């Protein structure tokens, strides 16, 4: 009886809430879901932008880490939220282009989200142990052809997994899945450790994740996938080696809402982001950590992600890497 009454009142409140939503957005704090753990690359990036962004928005941003399943758990939480702009997601390359390309079982597709921006690009670097005798990509490929080469990743369907395969493929290895062994680890830190302790031969991941190991001479970079070289990484770029296809292989962070996000909300986010990236020392801080700040409008962001997804998807289908079960 009590419950019934509450139900009725709840329904009434729902009606009120939807009229109230017409008022100026945002009228209350916005929940920002980070689908990865605290202290990780996404988390740090998100919390760094949150400061200037919160000032631009004018309402508090409540940051919530919802981790699990390579970013899927948090993404689903936003996918199922009301598209009123009060629940937004920090989307990442892993959760929103590699995962959808590789996993048929993923409970969401790219079409379930509306991207309002991509604000950060992370170059990808490949590295090996300095005492491995591998000095360049050519050495690595020669080793691969001999056999016994392995690479580590932070899990199936992570950027690291796809990056390892894609790089080998671009450098002429016919079937990278057979030629090299993929040794998945539980996270990015573990993946780097696996190369350090000799479990795996090489790793391809965001340059920021490798920066400390490279600076400490624990790992030697042999490739950067961007056009421009990365500070601190003494390695040829994909452009130097004549592999322009690899420019698609970069990490990024963006913000997305659920599918039905209204246009005016998306526009507001575009405006806020423009303010936020130029405010204070945000750009400087991010660039010192190895990121490239590149603000995209909602349309550009969608196109960028779509094209990266298509590239990855083609590779995955080509090699039969798609996970069906």
Partner 1 sequence: MQNIHRQTIIGGVAILLALFLVFVAIPNWVYAPSNVRKLVLSPLFWPYALALLTLLVGLGLVFTGMRSDERLEPDPAEMPGGFFRLAIMAVIMVIYMAGLPRLGMVWTSMLAFAATAFLVRTRHPKTALICAIVIPLLLYAFFAHVAGVAIPQGLLVRLP
Partner 2 sequence: MSLMDSILAGLSLVGNLESFLALFAGVVIGTIGGAIPGMSATMAVALTLPFTFAMQPITGILMLLGVYKGGIFGGSIPAILIKTPGTPASSATVLDGYPMAEKGEAGRALGMALWASCTADVISNLSLILFAGFLASFALNFGPPEFFTLILFSLTIIAGVSGRSLLRGAFSAMLGLLLATVGLDLIYGTNRFTFGNPNMMGGLNFIAVLIGLFAIPEILSMVWDPKGNDGTARKLGRNWVTWADYKASFRSIVRGSFIGVFLGSIPGIGAAPSAFLSYSEARRKSKNRDNFGKGEIEGVAAAEAGNNGVAGATLIPLLALGVPGDVITAIIIGAFMVHGLQPGPMMFIMNVDIIYGLFIGLIVSSVFLFFVGSAAIRGFRYVADIPRGVLVPGVLILCVYGVFAVNNNIFDVGVMFVMGWVGYLMMRNEIPAAPFLIAFILGPLLEDNFRQSMLMSGSNPLILFRGPITWFFWGLTAITVVAIVRAGYRATRQLRKREARAADAR
Among 6, 234, 303, 306, binds partner 1 (CB under 8 A): 6
Distance, in Å, from the CA atom of 230 to the CA atom of 169, rounded to the nearest integer, reads 23
Binding of residue 60 to partner 2 (CB under 8 A)? no
Residue 325 interacting with partner 2 (CB under 8 A): yes
Given 36, 63, 75, 241, the residue binding partner 1 (CB under 8 A): 63
Identity of the residue, 63 or 319, whose beta carbon is nearer to partner 2 in the bound complex: 63
Q: Binds 40, which of partner 1, partner 2, none (CB < 5 to 8 A, cut-off by type)?
A: partner 2
Mask of contacts with partner 1, 31-50, x by CB under 8 A?
x-------------------
17 binds, among partner 1, partner 2, none (CB under 5 to 8 A by kind): partner 1
Choose, by CB under 8 A, the member of 57, 102, 230, 265 that binds partner 2: 102
Q: Which of 21, 24, 25, 28 binds partner 1 (CB under 8 A)?
A: 28
- The whole-angstrom separation of Cα 245 and Cα 16 is 52
If you search the block for the tokens 């702009």, which residue do you land on? 85
Per CB under 8 A, the list member of 9, 16, 17, 215 interacting with partner 2 is 215
User: Least distance in Å: CB of 264 to partner 2?
Assistant: 27
Does position 53 interact with partner 2 (CB under 8 A)? The reply is no
Q: At closest approach, how far in Å is the CB of 133 from partner 2?
A: 18
* Torsional sign, CA 137, 139, 145, 150: negative
Within 162-181, which residues bind partner 2 (CB under 8 A)? 181
Q: Does 199 bind partner 2 (CB under 8 A)?
A: yes
Nearest approach in angstroms of CB 98 to partner 2 is 11
Rule CB under 8 A: is residue 193 a binding residue for partner 2? yes
HEC-encoded secondary structure of the chain: CHHHHHHHHHHHHHHHHHHHCCCCCCCCCEEEEECCCCCCHHHHHHHHHHHHHHHHHCCCEEEEECCCHHHHHHHHHHHCCCCCCCEEEEEEHHHHHHHHHHECCCCCCHHHEEEEEEEEEECEEEEECHHHCCCCHHHHHHHHHHCCEEEEECCCCCHHHHHHHHHHHHCCCCCHHHHEEEEECCCHHHHHHHHHCCCCCEEEEEHHHHHHHHHCCCCEEEEECCCCCCCCCCCCECCCCCCHHHHHCCEEEEEEEECCCCHHHHHHHHHHHHHHHHCCCHHHHHHHCCCEECCCCHHHHHHHHHHHHHHHHHHHHHHCCCECC
To partner 2, the closest distance from the beta carbon of 210 in angstroms equals: 10
45 or 302: CB nearest partner 2? 45
Name the β-bridge partners of 34.
65
Binding site for partner 1 (CB under 8 A): 3, 6, 9-10, 13-14, 17, 28, 31, 62-64, 320, 323-325
Binding site for partner 2 (CB under 8 A): 33, 37-40, 43-44, 47-48, 50-51, 63-70, 72-73, 76-77, 102-103, 105, 107, 150, 155-157, 181-187, 189-190, 192-194, 196-199, 208, 211-213, 215-218, 288-289, 323, 325
């Amino acid at each position: 009886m009590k419950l019934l009454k509450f139900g009725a009142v709840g329904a009434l409140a729902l009606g009120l809430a939807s009229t109230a939503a017409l008022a100026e957005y945002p009228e209350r704090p916005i929940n920002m879901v980070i689908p990865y753990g605290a202290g990780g690359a996404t988390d740090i990036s998100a919390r760094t932008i949150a400061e200037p962004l919160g000032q631009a928005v004018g309402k508090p941003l409540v940051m919530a880490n919802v981790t699990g399943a390579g970013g899927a758990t948090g993404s689903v939480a936003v996918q199922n939220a009301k598209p009123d702009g009060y629940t937004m997601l920090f989307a990442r390359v892993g959760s929103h282009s590699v995962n959808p390309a590789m996993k048929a079982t993923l409970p969401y597709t790219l079409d379930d989200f509306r991207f309002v921006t991509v604000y950060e690009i992370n170059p990808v670097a490949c590295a090996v142990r300095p005492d491995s005798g591998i000095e360049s990509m050519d050495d690595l490929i020669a080793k691969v052809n001999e056999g016994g080469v392995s690479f580590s990743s932070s899990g199936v369907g992570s950027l690291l997994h796809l990056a390892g395969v894609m790089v080998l493929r671009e450098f002429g290895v016919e079937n990278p899945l057979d030629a090299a062994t993929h040794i998945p680890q539980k996270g990015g830190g573990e993946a780097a450790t696996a190369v350090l302790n000799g479990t795996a031969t090489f790793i391809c991941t965001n340059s920021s994740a490798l920066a400390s190991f490279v600076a400490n001479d624990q790992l030697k970079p042999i490739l950067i996938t961007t056009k421009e070289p990365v500070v601190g990484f003494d390695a040829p770029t994909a452009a130097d080696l004549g592999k322009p296809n690899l420019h698609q292989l970069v990490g990024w962070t963006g913000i997305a809402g659920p599918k039905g996000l209204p246009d005016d909300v998306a526009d507001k986010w575009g405006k806020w982001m423009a303010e936020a990236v130029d405010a204070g020392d945000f750009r400087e801080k991010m660039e010192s950590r190895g990121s490239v700040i590149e603000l995209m409008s909602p349309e550009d962001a969608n196109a960028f992600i779509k094209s990266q997804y298509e590239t990855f998807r083609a590779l995955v289908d080509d090699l039969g890497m798609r996970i069906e079960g």
